[in-house]
């Protein structure tokens, strides 16, 4: 496992390759559809938030207040990333994002932005929301809670050894694209064989 800590330098992002298993530690910001569209449309981040060298997690965490009044994440599974494909490339470019975390991969515009600006897509395990929540050591803050609601807010999370796999790297490779192409070729071969 490769240990990776935020803020992530461009050099560190470019050292990663498709298939690398990573333990991510440091600060991660959640961001889903509302935040991505808001930023894409020219909205500004709160002054206390910087994505520079940071990681955006496509996640709508389940967060409660414990007995002491502190926020606590009880579930933190990834959401499907392709919904952010229209916006993600621009946010990587404009905000210096080095890591995008989610599930299911992303499309060619994000893949190109990762290569051009030195970013990686980190695949988190779906269906393991409670396990991933255990890697969240602290909720440091929340932004846009009233504006967007809890699942769509920006949650600033402190994580430790958060397990992810690089599936789009900064060298132009996408495991998602490769699997799709291989599957398409296998299907075409079977259809062709069945026609004879």
Task: Write out residues in the chain with pLDDT < 50, as ranges.
Answer: none
Pairing of strands 62-65, 136-143: unpaired
Q: What CATH number labels 2-195? A: 3.20.130.10
d(CA 73, CA 61): 7
Domain ranges (residues) in the chain: 2-195
Full-prediction pTM beyond 0.85?
yes
Per-residue confidence (pLDDT) for residue 16, from 0 to 100: 98
Under a CB-based contact definition with an 8 Å cutoff, are residues 124 and 164 in contact? yes
Going 55 to 61 to 65 to 66, the CA torsion angle's sign is negative
Residue 84 is classified by DSSP as: G
Which residues are known catalytic residues?
36
pLDDT for res 114: 98
Beta bridge partners of 5: 25
pLDDT in tens, 107-149: 999 999 999 999 999 999 888 889 999 999 999 999 999 999 9
Residue 127 pLDDT: 83
Q: Are strands 120-123 and 99-102 parallel, antiparallel or unpaired?
A: parallel
pLDDT at 83: 96
Residues found in the chain = 196
Could you read off the pLDDT of 51-64 as tens digits, one per residue?
Answer: 999 999 999 999 99
Determine the pLDDT at residue 195. 63
Is the torsion defined by CA of 177, 23, 15, 86 positive or negative? positive
């Amino acid at each position: 496992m490769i240990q990776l800590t935020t803020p992530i330098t461009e050099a560190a992002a470019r050292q990663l390759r498709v298939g690398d298993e990573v333990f991510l530690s440091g600060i991660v910001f959640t961001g889903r559809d509302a935040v991505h569209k808001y930023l894409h449309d020219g909205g500004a981040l709160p002054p206390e938030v910087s994505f520079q060298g940071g990681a955006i997690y496509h996640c709508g965490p389940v967060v409660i207040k414990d007995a002491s009044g502190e926020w606590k994440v009880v579930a933190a599974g990834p959401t499907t990333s392709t919904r952010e494909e229209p916006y993600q490339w621009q946010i990587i470019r404009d905000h210096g994002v080095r890591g995008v975390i989610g599930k299911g991969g992303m499309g060619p515009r994000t893949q190109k932005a990762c290569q051009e600006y030195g970013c990686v897509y980190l695949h988190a395990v779906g269906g393991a929301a409670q396990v991933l929540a255990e890697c969240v050591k602290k909720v440091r803050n929340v932004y846009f809670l009233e504006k967007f609601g809890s699942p769509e807010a920006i949650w600033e999370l402190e994580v430790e050894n958060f397990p992810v796999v690089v599936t789009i790297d900064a060298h132009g490779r996408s495991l998602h694209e490769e699997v799709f192409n291989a599957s398409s070729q296998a299907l075409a071969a079977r259809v062709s064989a069945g026609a004879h």
